[in-house]
Amino acid sequence: MKKIIVFASGSGSNAENIIKHFAKTKIAKVVSVFTNNASAKVIERAKNHQIPIEIFSKTELLERKIVQKIEEIDPDLIVLAGFLLKFPESIIEKYPNKIINIHPALLPNYGGKGMYGMHIHRAVVENKEKETGISIHFVNEHYDEGAIIFQKSVALTVEDTPETVAEKIHGLEQKYFPEIISRLLED
């Protein structure tokens, strides 16, 4: 059975969806959830599924401590699911093409530092985009610039608000993120 580590900073709905998905398969299992936010809802979600939690500071992420924790687990895949800190190059170099992220826009549009969550959805609506979507990509040393693994778009209308865009994106994330993770682990 392959091992997945999930990094998340917020509510953890994507993390929980991945945990539930793999609990029903023989492909892999989420073995740990790492978070930089001691009050993140993802902690409660992980505990509800008996998944071990690692809570760390930004400083600890950049130091050797988190690298050592990851090495102890020896994951087959590291999944960033709403993780807002820039991932350290030391970890990226150690796990090439084994760290993926989901982004709530069609990259390269609406990517980069500060482009996450409602910031993206507001920009999409303000720019009167006809579509938006999700991008699942490998993580490299730059925000949202790693090789794209998968994209799925959704049509928008003039009635869409940032909140309705968020709902559409969330639906795509919930459906496709676990599928793409499965596909990567089966290769």
Determine phi and psi for 184, rounding to 5 degrees.
-65, -40
> What is the secondary structure of 22-79 as a DSSP string?
HHT-SSEEEEEEEES-TT-HHHHHHHHTT--EEE--HHHHHSHHHHHHHHHH--SEEE
103 is annotated as an active-site residue: yes
CB 96 within 8 A of CB 64: no
Distance CA 28, CA 1 (A): 5
Candidates 103, 121, 137, 170; catalytic one:
103
Q: Which residues are catalytic?
A: 103
